Each structure stands twice: as structure tokens, then as C-alpha cells.
Amino acid sequence: MKIIGPFTQLLPMTNMPLKGALSDDTLPIIKNGGIVVDGGKIVETDTYTNLLKKYPKATLQTTNGNTVALPGFVDSHTHICWGGTRAMDFAMRNAGKTYMDIAREGGGIWSTVQNTRKATKEELVTNIVHRANYLLSQGVTTAEVKSGYGLSVEEELKMLRAIQISHHCTKLHLIPTCLAAHTLPKDFDGNHKEYLELMENELFPILKEENLAKRMDAFIEEEAFDAKVTIPYFEKAKELGFDITVHADQFSTGGSEVAVEVGAVSADHLEASTQKEVEMLANSDTVATALPGATIGLGVTFTPARALLDAGACLNIASDWNPGSAPQGLLLTQASILAAFQKLSNAEVLAGLTYRAAHALREDYIGKLEKDFKANFVTFNTDNYQEITYQQGRLLPSGVYVEGEKVMG
Ligand SMILES: [Zn+2]
């Protein structure tokens, strides 16, 4: 057993509501706090002085100077398993080329599919681990990773196996999601329905057998998959025990309605959501995930985060780190920019990066510093937690702890 601290401000993010708007005075702050850790889990948080009295035999792991500590961040939506680059897309888009122009000239998602297919499983592992460690250095201790650039049974399996291997090569905890329903591959001889049926029949059983994915995702959009073919696909996935998550309302509405109808754990993107979708999500158990990295990458509008919170939704913020629309991968920077544009409180941003993000992944023991939760937390060298969003990602963590061990800093 050990006591880690003292922390000038300790924000355990406990006893806060799962849904709705939050003002900063709802943030629990323990001044000169400490964390008791045993076997990688939290035993208790309290003032450092109280903990020294309560646990006289505990080992002490002391911090120096001003330090703010809070739960490790959770990035619930990433595509960090890919090969190649899409720098050309960014340049072409900014030169006024359309989605179709870019695809015709060899860019777009199909170019990433080709480059990911060309990469070996080992090369993909190298890429994932490199990006995972970069997220870890920003204080992210759990990240979801999607497949979706393989788009055949064999290639989706290669990606998900690479994600499974990577999990053992980084301290970042990875949660795998199957996104075989990303787009209809150009080389598939059949329609959308036939493609999804192939995945249900040939891919789903192997995913279960090898425990390769916890969640099933689909991109519901005019140029991807429509509600009619996706709902039966999701129903099949649910029968097998997969959690459902949806790329919803990115350019047009429809996806979030499917998400609520099938009981998805989260509906992600929502840049095109109107008040109708906002209220539907707020009245459901589906977490609304904002992806400001995609807004910044594409130069489009932000997810209506303020409206979602005011309507009572559970708002989560994730990076969507991917080669096409969100190549940045700076979660804290993105969340801080979203806060400036959507007028979010610090409490709303930090909740969206911790316990509300954990709920989007239905991971019950992360995102808060309370008894029996994993001792995943992050420290910053400052005496005021407000500096974290104020500096928009420039203030990097001074320490990153996973299951009570300091893995960075
Ligand atoms: Zn995405």
C-alpha cells in the first residue's frame, strides 16, 4: 500500500452527475490531497495529512512543488491503426477540391484502405504503439481503437489482431472496436446489404472466438451505410454481446436516430445534429460524443455541445484521431478549443474527458478516483486546475500513472 501526494489540488471527479450541464463549483477539489493505492486500485482519496494518520504503515511516494491531479483521460473514439498519410487530402481540400475530386485523384478513405492493406500486421503494431504512447504523454490512459481500413474479413482481422498485440506493447489501455461498416469497399462485388451480411457471417464469429472486439461501429451517412441496412447489422451484433456505437450526424442527420433506436452506448460526431437530435439524445442513455479534432481538420462546424448539455445529454469529448479528417491527435487542445467555441465550463470539459468518456465505453472502473477504481491518474505542475484548459494543451502532464505506477514523467 502506498500514499501518493501531496497534490495542491486533487480533483477525484466523484459524486458528479452523469448527464447535463455542470458549473465549476460542482467540481470536488481536495486541497493538499493524497491518493492511497493498493494492488493498482484506489483505496481512498483525502487530504494528505489525514491519509498519513489513517495509514501509518503505507509507503510514501511524494511529489514536489505545486501539482494538480485528476483521473487519467479517456479517449473513446480513435482510428490510430492505419498505414500511409493523407497530407495530400488536406492540401486539396483547402484548395477547394470536393470530396469526389479528392477520391478521383487517388485520395480519400480508399487510399488509407490500400495503404493499411499493404502494411504488415507488425508495421501496424509499430504505428499503433507510437500513437498510443503519444496519447499517453498527453495524459490519456485509456483509448478506444477502431478497425475499418481493412474492409474485407481478412484485412479487418489483421487490423484487430494488430490492436490486440499493441495492447501488450504500451501502458495505454486499448479498447478495440470493429468498424468493418466504415464504407463499402470499391473491390466488393455486391451491395451494402450483402457486404454487411458477409461481415456478420464470416467476421463476427471470429471476433467472438478470438475476443478481438468489444464494440461494433458503423458510419451512417449518405456515402457510407443507411439506416435500413445498418439496423439489422447492429441487431445481429447486439445478439452476440457487442456494444453498439455509431458515426452519426457528421454531414447529414439520421445516424443518431439509429443510435437511440438500437440502444447504442454512444453516438459520435453530431456536427449536423439539429435540436430534434439533441433532445432525442438527451432523453436517451446514448452518450453524445463531440469530436472537435474532425471539426478542426475539416474546417466545419463544431458539435452543438452547449445545446446537448443544456438539454441534459451526457457529453463526452474524443479525438477521432485518423489520417483523413482528424490527423492532429491532440485531445486536450481540441477539448479546450471546443470549450472556447461552445462555451463549456471546465467541469464540463473535464467530465467529458474522464467519467463521462468512461461511460461512453461502458468501462465501470476508470474515469474517477474512487474506491476500487483503477489508480489511473495524471498530474500537472500548476497550483490551479483552470490552467489545464486555459493553456489549450500546452501544459503537458508532469506525471502519468497507470494502475498506481508512474509510466511517464
Ligand atoms: Zn471516427
pLDDT in tens, the chain (409 residues): 999 999 999 999 999 999 999 999 999 999 999 999 999 999 999 999 999 999 999 999 999 889 999 999 999 999 999 999 999 999 999 999 988 889 888 889 999 999 999 999 999 999 999 999 999 999 999 999 999 999 999 999 999 999 999 999 999 999 999 999 999 999 999 999 999 999 999 999 999 999 999 999 999 998 899 999 999 999 999 999 999 999 999 999 999 999 999 999 999 999 999 999 999 999 999 999 999 999 999 999 999 999 999 999 999 999 999 999 999 999 999 999 999 999 999 999 999 999 999 999 999 999 999 999 999 999 999 999 999 999 999 999 999 999 999 999 8
Q: From ligand 1's centre to the CA of 219, what distance in Å?
A: 8
- Please identify which residue in the block is written with the cell numbers 467530465: 351
Runs of H (alpha helix) within 138-264: 153-166, 192-198, 204-209, 227-239, 255-261
Q: From ligand 1's centre to the CA of 77, what distance in Å?
A: 6
Q: From ligand 1's centre to the CA of 280, what distance in Å?
A: 21
Smallest Cα–Cα separation from 79: which of 137, 140, 124, 121?
A: 124
Do 307 and 281 contact (CB within 8 A), yes or no?
A: no
Q: From ligand 1's centre to the CA of 120, what distance in Å?
A: 23
351: which residues sit within 8 A by CB, 6+ positions away?
Answer: 13, 16, 22, 315
Q: From ligand 1's centre to the CA of 270, what distance in Å?
A: 11
H or E stretch covering 129: helix 121-137
- The Cα angle at residue 14 between residues 11 and 19, in degrees rounded to 5: 115
Neighbours of ion ligand 1 (CB under 5 A): 320
Q: From ligand 1's centre to the CA of 247, what distance in Å?
A: 6
How far apart are the C-alpha atoms of 102 and 98, rounded to whole Å?
6
Runs of H (alpha helix) within 305-345: 305-311, 331-342
Q: Please give the full DSSP string across 34-99, using - where no structure is assigned.
A: EEEEETTEEEEEEEHHHHHHH-TTSEEEE--SS-EEEEPEEE--------S--HHHHHHHHTT--H
Do 186 and 224 contact (CB within 8 A), yes or no?
A: no
Cα 361 to its chain centre, rounded Å, is 8
Q: From ligand 1's centre to the CA of 15, what distance in Å?
A: 30
Q: From ligand 1's centre to the CA of 79, what distance in Å?
A: 6
Dihedral sign for Cα atoms in the order 361, 392, 17, 354: positive
Q: From ligand 1's centre to the CA of 403, what distance in Å?
A: 28
Do 245 and 217 contact (CB within 8 A), yes or no?
A: yes
Q: From ligand 1's centre to the CA of 147, what distance in Å?
A: 10
Smallest Cα–Cα separation from 76: which of 253, 268, 207, 238?
A: 268
Separation of first and last alpha carbons in the chain: 21
What pTM was estimated for this model as a whole? 0.97
Do 186 and 149 contact (CB within 8 A), yes or no?
A: no
Q: From ligand 1's centre to the CA of 36, what distance in Å?
A: 37
Q: From ligand 1's centre to the CA of 3, what distance in Å?
A: 39
Query: Cβ–Cβ contacts within 10 Å for residue 29, how many?
Result: 15
Q: From ligand 1's centre to the CA of 339, what distance in Å?
A: 20
23: which residues sit within 8 A by CB, 6+ positions away?
Answer: 345, 347
How far apart are the C-alpha atoms of 227 and 91, rounded to whole Å?
32
